[in-house]
């Protein structure tokens, strides 16, 4: 018995230093937040995203090993606005980590940093589908909001790790400059797209449309979170034809069948939007947005 | 349940709902100044000290393009300025949030069933199973959740059934204990096995496996007490859980003190539950949960008589994370082995279930389950009379199939058929058509 106890203690002694080593550990809910946290944190942080860029951020399984990642985290960065409501609270509680609970300095809800759109001004209920009662959470497709998020992350990192404050500030500045420059380029390339009428699958696209001045005339989903039915798809095809829609914006984590059908029937082009940068493939936030913009440039560009 | 309790709970419920409506809580908030759509996002006049974006309440109508188009330069320049000015203030919150509410999150889950049994003497063991031919209210669950303070969160599940109201669970959970420890106190479902700690809303079938009802009772194992759990600092997920709860309860601890409350004279008059849970992230799309559990406590058949229940559970899940497939496949198995000291003898029996469930389309799922339960044996190997289920003198099997339709994540219909064989009588056919609706701030699911 006592021998087993000694083995257990030895195992734990080996395992503990792993958790404690060096850099600040950041966990983000989505890969776009992770990409930005990496830019801002640089060499002084270690970043993990709970959801893959191919996953619908509304419906992530609260797998226990994700709680393990949170148990070691110094900072949890979330989108907020109830996007992660169905899974993040379970993981936060399960992590037993007081540092990253709501209200603690190690929890950053990025929706407090951005300009929130679609905040309901009257009573909403779920007859409208999966509405987000505090506003639309899909702001990371707007580079202006992403810039605000990067500044907010730098501020929070400074608070948690004052020793590296200079580096965080410089990194954020460099990122914002780079993003600002890229944004100018994207806007110039898509100047002609302003006012263009598009169809989107889900309300994910609202900030993106707001940024580029696109007009979303219809959604493939009859209501947010409600899968399309043939009747509605027919309606969308009619709308697309009558309003001269040239682009169907589709998030890759939604089934593509109906969007493809609409594109085919109307001659519009399907624009595929990933849920964020492919972190494993080493992609950055700017590259991620660039890939989306390039698809639109093919349609609306000079 | 005394009538007064029922009444006061009803008052509480209606008050809670009324206040939820009056001060639109997390669900609907009024936002800052009176909404002044579209035009309300003009550029702030460039001032020496850059201002944050004013709160820009925006109608849910299409985007206010004219005002937004000029924004970018400003945002980037402003942020750059803030970062290069040494004593610039930290990021401010551009979006002023409306009045917050301290009300807890409330959700109601209603389960109804139309049922048919080939024999009135059916052998359903779950407390919320459909229980008669005709219409049944399986339960109306009021789920109340809130953070208490930086150290605790609060969870309660009150179940309103045809017979009255019961406090199914009410407990506080610590959020910030050192050394990866977590404690719960109050009344809670113990974490024995997999299905015991879950609620009907999370089940793939309309009824509870009979093993659970047989060993712990219709409500599954729960009680008043304390629990401590520990997340081991290992590279994979290992959680150790231990709890001590009252050993009485006809529907919650029937193999222990059951309906006779004998009080606690010594520490081992409590029901102790221990569990080891391990999770393996096998592959991006595949995960496996494996658990070992034990419940040890006194039983009511005599002085110093003990019961031990040992369980193992396995949960395999496939859910592709790439390619937008709606497919989800799960395989879940639990086996419970029970040993009881009764007058002059030790009885043992084993029961369990194995089930597969497939979500084959976004709105459709199917599931199949097989259950088996041995009769009680004496140590010598001969079938013995079970003091709790005297008629259960043969092997019992039940086969169940279910088809579920989900109009949305918040409503579902389920058609289920089963055949129950052996055990304590003739085979019984059962068919259920159940409906479930969920309203309110529905909480997060566990894996």
Question: Which position has the higher pLDDT, B360 or A125?
Answer: B360
Residues of A in contact with B199 (CB under 8 A): none
What would the mean pLDDT of A251-276 be, rounded to a whole number? 94
Q: For A185-300, give the CATH class.
A: alpha beta
Rounded to a whole number of angstroms, the distance from the CA of B25 to the nearest CA of chain A is: 10
CB contact under 8 A, A133 and B26: yes
**Do the chains contact at A89 and B444, CB–CB below 8 Å?**
yes
Contacts of B82 in chain A (CB under 8 A): 151
| Chain B residue numbers touching A178 (CB-CB < 8 A) | none
CB within 8 Å: B175 and A62:
no
Query: Whole-model pTM above 0.90?
Result: no
On whether residue B99 sits in a domain, the answer given is no
Topology agreement, domain A2-184 and domain A185-300: yes
Residues listed for chain B: 447
Between positions 208 and 247 of A, the ones with CB within 8 A of B are: 209-211, 213-216, 225-227
| pLDDT (0 to 100) of residue B36 | 39
How many beta-carbon contacts under 8 Å exist across A and B?
223
Q: What is the pLDDT of residue B66?
A: 33
Of B83, B147, B319, nearest to A172 by CB-CB distance is B83
CA of A16 vs chain B CAs: smallest distance (Å): 6
What's the confidence (pLDDT) of residue B446?
84
The answer to whether A187 contacts B72, with C-beta atoms less than 8 Å apart, is yes
SS3 A261: helix
Domain membership of residue B273 as a residue range? 171-432
A93-132 in b/e form (b: 16+ CB < 10 A) is bbbbbebbbbebebbbbbbbbbbbbbbbbeebebeebbbb
DSSP per residue, A179-240:
HHHHHHHHHHHTGGGTT-EEEESSGGGHHHHHHHT-EEEEESSSBTTBPP-HHHHHHHHHHH
Amino acid B98: pLDDT: 53
Return the pLDDT at A139. Answer: 96
User: How far apart are the C-alpha atoms of A200 and A207, rounded to whole Å?
Assistant: 12
| Highest-confidence segment of A128-137, A219-228, B62-71 | A219-228
Tell me if chain B has a CB within 8 Å of the CB of A16: yes
Hey, is the C-beta of B326 within 8 angstroms of any chain A C-beta? yes
Higher pLDDT, B56 or A244: A244
The residues that bridge with B171 in the sheet, in sequence order, are B155, B186
The chain-wide mean pLDDT, for chain A, equals: 91
Interface residue A12 vs chain B (CB under 8 A): yes
> Residue B434: helix, strand or coil by DSSP?
strand
Give which of B26, B27, B178 to mutate to test A binding, by max A Cβ within 10 Å. B27
With CB atoms and an 8 Å threshold, state whether B147 touches A103.
yes
Q: How confident is the model at residue A125 (pLDDT cuts 50, 70, 90)?
A: confident
CA distance A297 to chain B (A): 18
Instruction: Please determine, for residue A18, whether its predicted confidence score (pLDDT) is greater than 70.
Output: no
Nearest-neighbour CA in chain A from B178: distance (Å): 8
The tokens describing A6, both together, are 């000694």
Residue A153: pLDDT above 50? yes
Nearest CA-CA distance, residue B189 and chain A, Å: 16
Domain boundaries, chain A: 2-184, 185-300
Contact B84 A52 (CB under 8 A): no
Mean pLDDT for A97-103 is 93
**Which residue in chain A is spatially nearest to B235 when comparing CA positions?**
A15
Answer yes or no: is B113 within a domain.
no
- pLDDT computed for residue B58 by the predictor: 36
A273 strand-pairing partners:
A251
Pick the CATH number of A2-184 from 3.90.1170.50, 3.40.50.1980, 1.10.10.10, 3.90.1150.10: 3.40.50.1980
From B60, B62, B445, residue closest to A120, measured CB to CB? B60
Looking at residue A121, its pLDDT comes to 81
Give the pLDDT score at A23: 86
ipTM > 0.90 for the complex: no
Residue A6, helix vs strand vs coil: helix
Q: Is residue A4's pLDDT more than 80?
A: no
In chain B, the number of structural domains is 1
Count of residues in chain A:
302
Put simply, whether A252 touches B (Cβ < 8 Å) is yes
For the cut 90, the answer to whether the pLDDT of residue A119 exceeds it is no
- Closest in B321, B410, B439 to A54, CB measured: B321
Q: Residue A19 pLDDT > 60, yes or no?
A: no
What is the pLDDT, as a whole number, of residue A275?
Answer: 92
CB A68 to CB B231 under 8 A? yes
User: Please, which residues have CB within 8 angstroms of residue A98's CB and are 6 or more apart in sequence?
Assistant: A104, B150, B151, B175, B176
| Residue from B21, B24, B51, B65 whose CB has the most chain A CBs within 10 Å, to mutate | B65
Per-residue pLDDT, A7: 64
pLDDT tens for chain B, 447 residues long, are 334 334 444 444 444 444 444 333 333 333 333 333 333 334 444 444 444 444 333 333 333 333 333 454 578 988 998 888 866 555 454 544 555 678 899 999 999 999 999 998 888 999 999 999 999 999 999 999 999 999 999 999 999 999 899 999 999 999 989 999 999 999 999 999 999 999 999 999 999 999 999 999 999 999 999 999 999 999 999 999 999 999 999 999 999 999 988 889 999 999 999 999 999 999 889 999 999 999 999 999 998 999 999 999 999 999 999 888 889 999 999 999 999 999 889 999 999 999 999 999 989 999 999 999 999 999 988 999 999 999 899 999 999 999 999 998 899 999 999 999 987 778 999 999 999 999 988 777 888
pLDDT at position A2 is 60
B contact residues 209-248, partner A, Cβ 8 Å cutoff: 231-237, 239
Supply B308's token pair: 């031990």
- Residue A145 banded pLDDT, cuts 50, 70, 90: very high
Predicted pLDDT of residue B46: 40
- What token pair was written down for A293? 């913009």
CB contact under 8 A, A152 and B446: no
Helix (H, G, I), strand (E, B) or coil at B237: strand
C-alpha angle B125/B126/B131, rounded to 5°? 80
**How far is it, in rounded angstroms, from Cα B31 to Cα B33?**
6
Give residue A301's pLDDT band: very low, low, confident or very high (50, 70, 90).
Answer: confident
> Do the bridges between strand A215-219 and strand A197-200 make them parallel or antiparallel, or are there none, so unpaired?
parallel
Residue B305 lies in a domain: yes
Question: If pLDDT is split at 50, 70 and 90, which confidence band does A9 have?
Answer: low
Best mutation target among A52, A64, A278 (most B Cβ atoms within 10 Å) is A64
Residue B94: strand, helix, or coil? coil
Rounded CA-CA distance A35/A240 in Å is 35
Which run of H or E residues covers position A18?
helix A2-20
CA B148: distance to chain centroid? Answer: 20
Residue A105 C-alpha, separation from nearest chain B C-alpha, in angstroms: 12
CATH of the domain at B272: 2.40.160
Q: How many other CB atoms are found less than 10 A from the CB of residue A21?
A: 9
pLDDT at B261: 83
């Amino acid at each position: 018995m006592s021998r087993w106890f000694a083995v257990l203690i030895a195992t734990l002694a080996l395992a503990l230093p792993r958790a404690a080593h060096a850099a600040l550990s950041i966990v983000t809910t989505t890969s776009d937040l992770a990409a930005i946290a990496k830019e801002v944190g640089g060499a002084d942080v270690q970043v993990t995203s709970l959801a893959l860029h191919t996953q619908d951020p509304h419906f992530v399984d609260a797998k226990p090993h994700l709680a393990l990642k949170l148990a070691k985290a110094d900072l949890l960065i979330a989108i907020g606005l109830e996007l992660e409501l169905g899974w993040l609270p379970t993981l936060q509680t399960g992590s037993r980590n007081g540092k990253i609970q709501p209200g603690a300095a190690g929890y950053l809800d990025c929706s407090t940093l951005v300009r929130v759109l679609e905040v309901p001004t009257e009573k909403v209920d779920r007859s409208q589908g999966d509405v987000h009662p505090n506003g639309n959470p899909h702001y990371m497709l707007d580079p202006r909001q992403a810039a605000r998020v990067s500044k907010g992350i730098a501020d929070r990192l400074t608070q948690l790790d004052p020793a590296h404050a200079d580096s965080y500030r410089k990194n954020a500045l460099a990122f914002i400059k780079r993003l600002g420059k890229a944004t100018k380029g994207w806007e110039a390339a898509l100047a002609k797209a302003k006012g263009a009428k598009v169809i989107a699958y889900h309300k994910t696209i609202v900030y993106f449309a707001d940024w580029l001045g696109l007009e979303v005339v219809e959604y493939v989903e009859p209501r947010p979170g409600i899968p399309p039915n043939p009747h509605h798809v027919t309606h969308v095809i009619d709308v697309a034809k009558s309003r001269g829609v040239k682009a169907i914006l589709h998030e890759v984590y939604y089934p593509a069948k109906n969007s493809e059908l609409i594109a085919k029937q109307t001659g519009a082009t399907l624009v595929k939007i990933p849920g964020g940068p492919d972190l494993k493939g080493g992609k950055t936030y700017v590259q991620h947005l660039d890939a989306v913009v390039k698809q639109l440039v093919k349609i609306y560009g000079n | 349940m005394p009538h007064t309790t029922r009444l006061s709970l009803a008052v509480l419920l209606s008050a809670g709902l009324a206040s939820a409506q009056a001060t639109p809580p997390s669900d609907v908030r009024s936002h800052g100044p009176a909404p002044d759509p579209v035009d309300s996002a003009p550029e702030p006049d460039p001032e020496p000290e850059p201002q944050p974006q004013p709160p820009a309440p925006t109608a849910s109508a299409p985007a206010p393009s004219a005002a937004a188009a000029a924004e970018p330069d400003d945002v980037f320049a402003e942020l750059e300025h803030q970062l290069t000015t040494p004593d610039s203030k930290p990021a401010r919150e551009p979006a002023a949030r409306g009045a917050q509410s301290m009300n807890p999150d409330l959700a109601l889950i209603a389960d109804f069933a139309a049922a048919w049994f080939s024999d009135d003497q059916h052998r359903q063991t779950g407390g919320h199973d459909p229980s008669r031919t005709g219409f049944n209210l399986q339960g109306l669950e009021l789920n109340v959740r809130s953070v208490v303070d930086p150290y605790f969160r609060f969870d309660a599940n009150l179940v309103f059934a045809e017979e009255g109201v019961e406090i199914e669970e009410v407990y506080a959970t610590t959020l910030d204990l050192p050394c990866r420890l977590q404690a719960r106190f109050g009344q809670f479902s113990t974490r024995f096995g997999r299905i015991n700690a879950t609620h009907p809303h999370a089940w793939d079938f309309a009824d509870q496996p009979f093993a659970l009802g047989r060993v712990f009772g219709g409500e599954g194992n729960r009680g008043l007490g304390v629990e401590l759990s520990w997340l081991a600092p290992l590279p994979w997920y290992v959680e150790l859980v231990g709890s001590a709860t009252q050993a009485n309860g006809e529907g919650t601890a029937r193999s222990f003190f059951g309906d006779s409350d004998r009080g606690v004279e010594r520490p081992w008059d409590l029901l102790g539950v221990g569990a080891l849970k391990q999770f393996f992230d096998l592959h991006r799309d595949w995960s496996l949960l494996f658990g070992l559990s034990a419940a040890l406590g006194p039983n009511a058949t005599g002085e110093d008589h003990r019961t031990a229940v040992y369980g193992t559970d396995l949960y395999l899940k496939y859910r592709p994370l790439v390619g937008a497939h709606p497919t989800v496949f799960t395989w879940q198995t639990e086996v419970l082995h029970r040993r009881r000291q009764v007058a002059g003898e030790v009885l043992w029996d084993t029961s369990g279930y194995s089930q597969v469930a497939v979500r084959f389309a976004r709105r459709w799922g199917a599931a199949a389950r097989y259950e088996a339960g041995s009769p009680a044996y004496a140590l010598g190997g001969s079938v013995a009379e079970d003091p709790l289920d005297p008629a259960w003198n043969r092997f019992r099997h039940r086969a169940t199939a279910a088809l579920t339709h989900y109009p949305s994540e918040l409503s579902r219909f389920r058609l289920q058929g089963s055949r129950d064989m052996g055990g304590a009588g003739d085979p019984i056919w059962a068919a259920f058509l159940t409906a479930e609706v969920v309203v309110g701030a529905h909480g997060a699911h566990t894996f």
